[in-house]
Amino acid sequence: MKGVVSKGFTLIELVVVIIILAILAVIALPKFINLGQDAHDSAAKGVFGAFRSGVTMYHSCWAASGASARVEELACYGDGTLDSSFTGYPLSTTNGGDGTTLNLDKCREVWQGLLEGDEYVLRYLGQADDFGKDTDIVYYYAGVELYKDDGSVNNFGYCFYDYISDNRSKVEHWELKYWPGNGKTEIVRAKQS
């Protein structure tokens, strides 16, 4: 009598393969699901990195021009319409004043002046009810005076920009803070209120 030759998998082998596939799915699936957040993070870091580079290039241009105070319409950067703060960092395109104060328009103008030709739609935080599908960046400012009475930089005089382009849930967003008094930029995760 000949023995029976088995062709195929046993039930135990099939169960083991299914368990292994389930474990792999549990490990790998969250990584694939999170690709949308990764894309959002990359886009925000990219545009904020371009802003940061623009600040550095602008200040280098200001220093190379031999300036030592506020400059109106610095010719060696972009289209030459961006005014500097008293210490040579980008401040506005229409009216930098004496280069020592900050307001909402200046924050918008700095963004548009540094990232000339960008296609991002900006809205200030006060238009929160108007955040439509076209809003990419929400901006505002803190403080008015860029410098203290002793001439040092006021850490409360800055613009902030929240990247909400493809994540409008108003939870966490990437935020860029920019201090025109000393050119400092900071990119952090922040909660939109």
Task: Tokens 């200001």: give the residue.
Answer: 62
On the 0-12 / 13-18 / 19+ scale of CB atoms within 10 A, 13 is exposed
Ranges of H-type helices in 3-137:
11-33, 35-64, 104-114
Answer yes or no: is 15 within a domain: no
Q: Give residue 117's domain range.
A: 37-191
Answer yes or no: is 183 within a domain: yes
Answer yes or no: is 138 within a domain: yes
Segment 44-53, tens digit of pLDDT: 899 999 999 9
pLDDT score, position 160: 92
Answer yes or no: is 153 within a domain: yes
Number of domains, the chain: 1
Read off the tokens for 122.
């900006």
Segment 21-72, tens digit of pLDDT: 999 888 887 777 667 777 778 888 999 999 999 999 999 999 999 998 889 9
Answer yes or no: is 165 within a domain: yes
Answer yes or no: is 21 within a domain: no
Answer yes or no: is 31 within a domain: no
Answer yes or no: is 111 within a domain: yes
